[in-house]
Amino acid sequence: MQLIYIKMRPNYAVGFYDTKNEGKSVQRKDNIRLSFNSPFRPFVLATTSIGQEGLDFHYYCRKIVHWNLPSNPIDLEQREGRINRYKCLAIRQNIANKYGDINFDADIWTEMLEAANKLEKNNDMCELVPFWCLPDNQEVKIERIVPVYPLSKDGAKYERLIKILSLYRLSLGQARQEELLEYLFENNIKEEELKQLFMNLSPFYK
């Protein structure tokens, strides 16, 4: 009997950072990113702000835990944008739930996406449907997890951050954006009045 030894990574969770070995930088972030973007280990990826922008972690991940809250809504969207991307896991799971029982000829994923592209959008919808978002209520969603400790300021900070998140697009292209947001936030502008200030940039409709 011939024994075959297969090396397997035992890491359940890893940190996303570079290491140094005898003064030389060892590039490990690319390997970790490729491993995390697979169905196999590691299943948990811990990172600082270096993993906040410009990286894809969406292939097999739809939950994000904010161990600390950012100071502005743009950073919050940048963090969550790592898993809320083109053909992300949540989108694929929703499409599989609705179209997984179709009769396919060759590539089931290609044919499921083609079926969703044909049936999920009408003439008024743009090309973001169904690859970035779906028009109906999605059974599977991207989850935001924010641990709030008792008697901490995180609860109030989170509520304020979410409220500003819904307003900050009003300030795009405006001078003194932070002052405008603070004014809207502190003066409790009514929702009907805010709707008159918004431009409709919804990805669902042209």
pLDDT band for position 89 (cuts 50, 70, 90): very high
List pLDDT tens digits, range 176-192: 666 766 777 777 777 67
pLDDT of residue 127: 79
List pLDDT tens digits, range 21-64: 655 555 778 888 888 999 888 888 888 787 777 789 999 999 99
pLDDT of residue 73: 82
More confident residue, 165 or 93: 93
pLDDT of residue 9: 55
Angle at 42 between CA 36 and CA 43, to 5 degrees: 85
Long-range contacts, 176-185 (Cβ 8 Å, 24+): 185/160
Of 68-77, 82-91, 94-103, 196-205, where does mean pLDDT reach its minimum? 196-205
Query: Average pLDDT, whole number, for the chain?
Result: 80
Q: CB-side exposure of 32: number of CA atoms within 13 Å?
A: 20
pLDDT band for position 93 (cuts 50, 70, 90): very high
Superfamily classification of domain 7-84+142-152: P-loop containing nucleotide triphosphate hydrolases (3.40.50.300)
pLDDT of residue 183: 72
pLDDT of residue 170: 65
pLDDT of residue 87: 93
Distances (CA, A) of 127 to 85, 123, 200: 14, 10, 17
Q: What is the pTM of this model?
A: 0.74
